[in-house]
Structure 1
Amino acid sequence: MGPTSLVDFILQPPVFHPVLPYITTIFGGLTHRKMVLVQGVVHGEAERFQVDFQCGCSLMPRPDIAMHFNPRFRSQPYVICNTLQNGRWLEETKFPHLPLKKGEAFQLLFLFGEDQVQPFDANRTEYPVAHPMKLNYPKLAVPYSHSLPQGLAPKGTITVRGLVCPVPERFSLSLREDQSHVPLRLSACFRARALVWSSFPDEATDHAEKVAACFPFHPQRFFELLLVCEEGSFKLALNGIPLGQYDTPRLSWGRVTELWIEGDVTLYSVLS
């Protein structure tokens, strides 16, 4: 079967001698049939190291980790594979025979299937199959409604994690009191390359304000949006980077009962 999209033809250039801990973006995400090669040398006094394929790069809150590969060099060396979702580790898979050795070079290959990850070392020693988080969860289909039964409160947060579609035009996040009353909307327009806050966008008294000078979203890139409620304002961060705040003096937080998301994104986590 041939490649399904242009991104399948793209080989991301290698990175040599990175400083640890090292974080980079995987262009296009971890699509079916993609491979990642990691080469290095285990320190002579090493106790453990890890390779994480994670959804975003923020520090607080910690991003979900779709695949955690963790060799541990103890009296009986072994490898742990696991997934971190919504701040909690799932059931781990343990591989008791570790061919990697202290003080020696290694080469690890991660092969990504439709619903599993298969790691190998240079000698084609097979590690446990891992089943990372999957996108396209039916309950997160877009357009998506997330209930806020208690409304919003100062210091409250909303975290939205997802993947931008290959040929996006726009997407938006709306805080709604009901379907006809939208006091706040965050809109991303890819043609205009603009991210905009709008207060009461469907009314004659609407007010719009551009969020950032540089447009922060890209096709086929994962993102993690964090909205923090402050007294009379919202603070916004993308992938752990603050994007400033937007004043909302007319917003009655207790009356906001729904987060509505629509447009050209695939969601995998919405938390409040």
Structure 2
Amino acid sequence: MDPLSLLLQPPVFYPIVPYMCTIFGGLRPGRMILIQGGVGSEATRFQIDFQCGCSTLPRSDVAFHFNPRFSSSDAHIICNTLYKDHWLDEIKFSRAPLRKGKSFVLLFLFLTDKVKVSIDGKHFLDFTYRLPLKDMDTLGIYGDVFIREISFLSSNPLDDKMTPYPVCQPLKPDNADLQKTPLSKSFPMGLSESHVITVRGLVTVNPDELTILLKSNDSIPFQLTANFEEQSLCYNYLMAQSWGQPQKIQTPFFLFYPEKFFEIIVLSEAGQFRLAFNGTPLGDFCPPVFDPKSINELQIRGSAELFHVLC
């Protein structure tokens, strides 16, 4: 089978933990997420959360909380659901085949009423949903764990004649059909209220700078610039031939990395732009003059190849 036929969204390679990303289109029966990585040598626990959104205050519901713990001689896994900021009754699965300092392959298969989890190719647990599967649209990874790859797959891999899960071959970046920059998209009718722009791409091997901007005749009400040398992410605007004061976006670490996929969402709403990166909100940005209907062009240039641009 052609691996592209299974691809839901670009794979993620070597993400920095803690890591959070949008699951494009949410989860549906038959979809899978394959996670390859390793447990830290001094690990006490890590967790993989399938969340209903990415809000931190109030905290999003966690439909499926997968939490390996290593405090005892045998590793065990706690599964639970966080609903309206309260944990429900946890379920403990003992004798988990995960070890400190060792690598693993986790496969999460989402069915109509439950999720099945295999570890290193062998089925280990089932967890019955307590919240609707359709509400799970965000993946979060936290704790003492190293992730090599996250793959998003669309087909049920189970063979009714076999009990083990099959081996899922990793998807590589060169599977994707990528567009070169610079790229321009026009808006003949301007932007509408609550207009969403989605940019998904892959950072190049030796990146320098990446810029995403919205133009309105001679002005630029929105410009996002990632500077790889300075490890900075800034918002700015150009009005009446004059640039504003750059507004640095504060994040715990620089968000872009060479040869890693990214998703940027820009929402035009109520006199401002709202920005999210890989499912995490980065704030609201207000140019001095904001007329969405006058915005007629999107430009993307710099150190990236583009997988998907939706306007």
What TM-score, normalized to structure 1?
A: 0.58
Counterpart of 2:169 in 1: which secondary structure? strand
- CA deviation vs aligned residue, 1:28-64 (integer Å, no higher than 9, x gap): xxxxxxxx955143368799xxxxxxxxx9649xxxx
Higher mean C-alpha deviation, range 107-116 or range 259-268 = 107-116
**Pairing 1:181-220 to 2, within 5 Å after superposition:** 181-200=219-238, 203-214=241-252, 215-220=254-259
1:253 to 284, 288, 292: 292
Q: For the structure 1 residues 44 and 200, does the alpha-carbon distance in structure 2 shift closer, same or farther, using more than 3 Å as the test? A: closer
Instruction: Give distance in 2, aligned partners of 1:152 and 1:252.
Output: 9
What is the aligned residue count? Answer: 189
Which amino acid counterpart does residue 100 of structure 1 have in structure 2? M
Matched, 1:68 2:127: no
Counterpart of 1:254 in 2: which secondary structure? helix
What TM-score, normalized to structure 2?
A: 0.51
Residue number in structure 1 paired with 2:177: 135
Residue number in structure 1 paired with 2:86: none
Matched, 1:271 2:295: no
Which amino acid counterpart does residue 235 of structure 1 have in structure 2? R
Instruction: Give distance in 2, aligned partners of 1:44 and 1:213.
Output: 36
Structure 2 alignment gaps of length 5 or more = 1-12, 14-35, 41-45, 51-63, 66-103, 107-119, 129-135, 140-150
2:122 to 23, 27, 41: 41
- CA deviation vs aligned residue, 1:133-175 (integer Å, no higher than 9, x gap): x232xxx321000122221122111110011111111010110
8 Å CA contact 1:228, 1:234 repeated in 2: yes
Instruction: Give distance in 2, aligned partners of 1:201 and 1:168.
Output: 28
Matched, 1:176 2:215: yes
Counterpart of 1:227 in 2: which secondary structure? strand
Q: For the structure 1 residues 201 and 218, does the alpha-carbon distance in structure 2 shift closer, same or farther, using more than 3 Å as the test? A: farther
Structure number with greater CO (CA < 8 Å, separation at least 6) is 2
**Pairing 1:76-95 to 2, within 5 Å after superposition:** 78=159
Counterpart of 1:100 in 2: which secondary structure? coil
Instruction: Give distance in 1, aligned partners of 2:173 and 2:304.
Output: 19
Q: For the structure 1 residues 58 and 143, does the alpha-carbon distance in structure 2 shift closer, same or farther, using more than 3 Å as the test? A: farther
8 Å CA contact 1:146, 1:259 repeated in 2: yes
- CA deviation vs aligned residue, 1:236-261 (integer Å, no higher than 9, x gap): 11011011111123122111111000
Counterpart of 2:246 in 1: which secondary structure? strand
Report deviation, 1:109.
Answer: 4.0
Counterpart of 2:38 in 1: which secondary structure? coil
8 Å CA contact 2:264, 2:276 repeated in 1: yes
Residue number in structure 2 paired with 1:27: none
8 Å CA contact 1:58, 1:241 repeated in 2: no
Instruction: Give distance in 1, aligned partners of 2:127 and 2:243.
Output: 62
2:267 to 221, 228, 247: 228
Instruction: Give distance in 2, aligned partners of 1:100 and 1:250.
Output: 62
Report deviation, 1:267.
Answer: 0.3
Which amino acid counterpart does residue 182 of structure 1 have in structure 2? I
Identity of aligned residues (%): 27
Q: For the structure 1 residues 15 and 257, does the alpha-carbon distance in structure 2 shift closer, same or farther, using more than 3 Å as the test? A: same
8 Å CA contact 1:58, 1:240 repeated in 2: no
Q: CA RMSD in A?
A: 3.6
Q: For the structure 1 residues 185 and 201, does the alpha-carbon distance in structure 2 shift closer, same or farther, using more than 3 Å as the test? A: farther
8 Å CA contact 1:37, 1:108 repeated in 2: no
Structure 1 alignment gaps of length 5 or more = 1-6, 24-35, 48-56, 73-77, 79-97, 117-133
8 Å CA contact 2:210, 2:302 repeated in 1: yes
